[in-house]
A and B are shown apart, each in its own frame.
Chain A
């Protein structure tokens, strides 16, 4: 059992995601990886589908992992993870593996978790494999040059959803809510949570809860990407914090059929404060921003986050 970490000062010093990668300066997913590895500790096997956290992390003979790691395709992390888990089960039963039950963690991008790899993820959760599947959500197909993914926000410009005279707003679809999709159709799922880079203690403790659960767990972690979202590389944590403070991203847990909101901003900020800092939204007109605000208000209402709506009166601190 991995204990809950009391304060950030109690977090272990040991690192298992170390130097040796080539991610962009300020890369949110890389920072997430570091926290996940720290929380999980040495008895861990990482599975990495193709995406930035594969391509920018490894090259033959050099990589940042101090624990065993296996590449999967962008399509199939859930399938490969199922096999790793089945292997240690059989090998433990047969006495061929005498070590501790290892933590199997998938670190998939939003493409690998919510789009092309969704089938394999769903199969893995449905079958009850004891795996922690983490989606580090940088809200695009980043590695191939920032194309739209199901979690790219409405109105964001990507290289597949450019803005132009015929389509001034850029992306015209509302994002897929993978955590919701996962939560309600997989009876074997033991633990689900969302987490943010701006709340590292909460993030690490959710990783530990997911690993302690005997069965599949899913974590959806928002991970700002300076390159794709077009903000300065020293603003990654600020961006993650603003996403939560504006309600663009919500933090909760889902366990035993119950939701717990794990963080509620004292005063919710208008989405504009988040949007205006990112180049991917720079083309948006006030009416577009208002549309996003309404979407966020409605969404928070649906998950019963009791915070003041900000559309009409916009309190800021």
Chain B
């Protein structure tokens, strides 16, 4: 029996971890994800979980300890943000290439410098190519649901990859929300036991993990990571279907909001999708065919499915809460690439909200207005634009 509770995103993540009762959690404090291990350590102190909690001396060691634990055969979890994720970078690739099913919550926060504790996606986008599956969450509910599903996805033998569950720092991690949670027993049953084939503590079958791997095999091993990502596409859908049966909540690779007959659409991750939905409703009430696509699975990117979902749209704005200086936003790069064979569609990129700059309905209305112009004129004057920033030489003045 599901029950309704009031939790912040961080509380929801910690609550999911409590129900999962992993063998090992290793973590290091960083705003805004600190509360997750903080709540978890209280569960340990209360005897509500049977996990080993290791309060390590850095995020580099947090991911290292997760790798050691997971290689030893333990179900392993952690959480981090921003600089913490950046410090883990060396180890993220090791975790993925050793095919260790670690599940990590990321409360997304801007990367320094200059130092900023608020939300954007530069941290997880920096880990885009590390071989981790990335699931994005609009709300605390989605973060909770994604974390539970992530255990199954990561541990599925067809996948065997680590999973990063992302939610917006502060906006989601710290805001209270009413959500529905499962009973402990239901979670236990859904995730099952973790029984890997090969692990260090299996004395009957000693293995060497991570030997030097040069020209003769490295490439094949990397190719296998890609195969695992391909498999993950199917596995994510299967597990979502099972989860829907249990909870009634439907998950897929992305959410389509008023998209099927849309002329103009925005593609945006995480909490901003909630704001965009308000704008879509408003535009729809005016008879404007506006829609929204909110990716949930960003790695692996569901290319064919996105192509089909956007194929009848005339103009699309991809909003990136992370920049690639001297190039385009990472989400835009993928979406435009996916849509390349559809010559009828116009696609533009908006970089928005860096360092937690607020983005409201007015800003998103502007984006849809621009799309309407593009449809009307058939012309794109600027592919990459910045939303809500004071521009050099612009009308808005610098003032504090």
A and B assemble together? yes
Q: Cβ of B94 < 8 Å from any Cβ of A?
A: yes
Q: Cβ of B176 < 8 Å from any Cβ of A?
A: no
Given contacts A61-B217, A70-B210, A90-B50, 10 further A-B contacts (CB under 8 A): A59-B211, A60-B213, A73-B94, A76-B64, A78-B61, A83-B54, A85-B68, A87-B76, A90-B23, A102-B203
A68-B206, A76-B91, A97-B73 as given contacts; A82 in contact with B212, CB under 8 Å? no
B23 touches A91 (CB 8 A): yes
A87-B24, A87-B68, A90-B51 as given contacts; A70 in contact with B209, CB under 8 Å? yes
- Sample 11 A-B pairs with CB under 8 A, ordered by A number: A62-B211, A68-B202, A79-B62, A79-B63, A81-B68, A83-B72, A86-B24, A86-B68, A87-B68, A87-B76, A88-B201
Q: How far is the CA of A43 from the CA of B66 in the complex (A)?
A: 22
CB within 8 Å of A: which of B211-259?
A: 211-214, 216-217
CB within 8 Å of B: which of A55-106?
A: 55, 58-63, 65-73, 75-76, 78-91, 93-94, 96-97, 99, 102
B52 touches A60 (CB 8 A): no
Q: Which residues from chain A contact B74 at a C-beta distance below 8 Å?
A: 83, 86-87, 90-91
Q: How far is the CA of A72 from the CA of B67 in the complex (A)?
A: 9
Q: Which residues from chain A contact B216 at a C-beta distance below 8 Å?
A: 60
A60-B212, A90-B50 as given contacts; A99 in contact with B66, CB under 8 Å? no
B214 touches A120 (CB 8 A): no
Q: Cβ of B48 < 8 Å from any Cβ of A?
A: no
* Stretch from A32-40, A121-129, A198-206, A267-275 at the B interface: A121-129
Q: Which residues from chain B contact A75 at a C-beta distance below 8 Å?
A: 60, 64, 90
Q: Which of B63, B72, B201, B210 contacts A71 (CB 8 A)?
A: B210
For the A-B complex, the count of residue pairs with Cβ-Cβ distances under 8 Å equals 170
Q: How far is the CA of A83 from the CA of B26 in the complex (A)?
A: 8
Q: Cβ of B207 < 8 Å from any Cβ of A?
A: yes
Q: Which residues from chain B contact A94 at a C-beta distance below 8 Å?
A: 23, 50
Q: Cβ of A147 < 8 Å from any Cβ of B?
A: no
Q: How far is the CA of A67 from the CA of B209 in the complex (A)?
A: 11
Q: Cβ of B115 < 8 Å from any Cβ of A?
A: no
Tally of B interface residues using CB under 8 Å: 45
Q: Cβ of A54 < 8 Å from any Cβ of B?
A: yes
B64 touches A45 (CB 8 A): no
A79 touches B56 (CB 8 A): yes
A69 touches B209 (CB 8 A): yes
Q: Which of B58, B67, B202, B208 contacts A83 (CB 8 A)?
A: B67
Closest chain-B Cβ to A92's Cβ sits at a distance in Å of 9
Closest to B23 in A: A90
Q: Which of B61, B71, B211 contacts A76 (CB 8 A)?
A: B61
Q: Which residues from chain B contact A54 at a C-beta distance below 8 Å?
A: 212
Q: Cβ of B69 < 8 Å from any Cβ of A?
A: yes
Q: Cβ of A119 < 8 Å from any Cβ of B?
A: yes
Closest chain-A Cβ to B303's Cβ sits at a distance in Å of 31
Q: Which residues from chain A contact B55 at a C-beta distance below 8 Å?
A: 127
Q: Tell which of A61, A63, A73, A123 has the most Cβ of chain B within 10 Å.
A: A123
Closest chain-B Cβ to A316's Cβ sits at a distance in Å of 44
Q: Which of A59, A72, A82, A97 contacts B214 (CB 8 A)?
A: A59
Closest chain-B Cβ to A163's Cβ sits at a distance in Å of 33
Q: Which of A42, A63, A73, A86 contacts B91 (CB 8 A)?
A: A73
B67 touches A80 (CB 8 A): yes
B66 touches A66 (CB 8 A): no
